[in-house]
Structure 1
Amino acid sequence: MKKFKEFDIPFVGLKEAKHQFDYQIENAFFESFDYDEFNKAAIQVSLELDKKSNMLELSFLAKGSVNVDCDLSNEPFDLPVNGKLHLVVKHGEEYNDEDEELLVIPHGEYQINVAQYVYEMIVLSVPVKRVHPGIKDGTLSSEIVERLEELKPKEENENNNKEIDPRWDTLKKLLTDK
């Protein structure tokens, strides 16, 4: 992880207190992870490290926006991103990151790299379905949205105007006869 050197936190030299670290995350960060879902990214991540005698407590907070393509119209838009992550780091016999809120590092370690945790926090804070706000409020006009409106299933009101097949009435009696 030499390419994420700025995310290395050497905790051995720090005093037992709270320490603040700030990171500006842009698209190049995600490209390093081979993640290409974002067109652009501008996210401010603040990390508060609380060093205690037997453990470290890391509190991540991400705020910013990513430019993504809408899943319905394929129009790019800025999506606000807000993420939180709390991580406890303890010393143990061997490295163990099976628990998402607890990281065990070997006794000889003197630093921790937080790039993977920043990446996961931001990617998981983006919704799975990304819908342009213009589609929700009806202000986006594009050829794709108009075509989707044309192909939308017709309402059941048309079926209410027609006569109901008499065979259905016989079947409905079965539901009421007990």
Structure 2
Amino acid sequence: MKKFRDFDIPFAGLKQGEHRFGYHIDNRFFESFGYTDFNGASLDVTVVLRKKSNLLELEFEVSGTVNVYCDLSGEPFDQEIGGNLELVVKFGEDYNDENEEILILPHGEHQVNVAQYIYEMAVLAVPAKKVHPGIEDGSLDSEIVRKLSELQPGSSGKDDKKETDPRWDSLKKLLTDK
């Protein structure tokens, strides 16, 4: 975890109350986790630590853009993301991070590393279906988009007369609604 040393928050010397920490995240951060789905990233993360006498409350907020490939056209674009995460840090006998909302640190710990939580929050903030804004507003002109619109049902160049199988025509006579 030496590569994530910048994400250690030393809480032992802090007074009780609210403390803010800010981070700027780029693509190297995600590559160090082995995550290669982003072409680029420019994210700002704010961590608000509320220190109380027997626990810590961490509130994470991320905003910015990640460059990803469109699921429909394959074109790269900047996807805006935003998200937040709340984490409660308690103290106990052993380290335990099984619960996603509660982290238990051993007594005597003096810092908490937040890199994993920032990573998970940012990756989960990206929509499951990534669609280029140019597809939504019709301004994207690419070979793939032209081919998709050409292959779209109902947009063929043939005449609109639908020829049906004569076997189905006999069955259609049984319909009482028509």
TM-score scaled by structure 2?
0.89
1:71 aligns with 2:75: no
1:93 & 1:168 partners in 2: Cα distance? 74
* Structure 1 counterpart of 2:96: 96
Residue type at the aligned position of 1:94: D
1:144 aligns with 2:148: no
1:165 aligns with 2:169: yes
Residue type at the aligned position of 1:74: G
Residue type at the aligned position of 1:166: S
Tell me the SS of whatever aligns to 2:36.
coil
* Structure 2 counterpart of 1:16: 16
1:37 aligns with 2:37: yes
2:9 & 2:64 partners in 1: Cα distance? 23
Greater helix proportion: 1
* Structure 2 counterpart of 1:60: 60
Q: CA deviation at 1:165?
A: 1.4
Deviations 1:48-82 (A, max 9, x none): 00000010000001111011111111111111010
Give the 5 Å matches for 1:75-86: 75-86=75-86
Q: CA deviation at 1:93?
A: 1.7
Tell me the SS of whatever aligns to 1:94.
coil
Q: CA deviation at 1:161?
A: 8.7
Q: CA deviation at 1:106?
A: 1.1
Q: CA deviation at 1:108?
A: 2.2
TM-score scaled by structure 1?
0.89
CA root-mean-square deviation: 1.9
1:95 & 1:161 partners in 2: Cα distance? 69
Runs of 4+ in 1 over 4 A off after TM superposition: 158-164
1:123 aligns with 2:123: yes
Q: CA deviation at 1:83?
A: 1.0
Aligned length: 171
**Cα gap change, 1:106/1:153 in structure 2, threshold over 3 Å: closer, same or farther?**
same
1:62 & 1:81 partners in 2: Cα distance? 8
Residue type at the aligned position of 1:5: R
Deviations 1:109-148 (A, max 9, x none): 1111000000000000001111000001111010000001
Q: CA deviation at 1:154?
A: 2.5
Structure 2 unaligned runs (5+)? none
Residue type at the aligned position of 1:165: D
Structure 1 unaligned runs (5+)? none
* Structure 1 counterpart of 2:5: 5
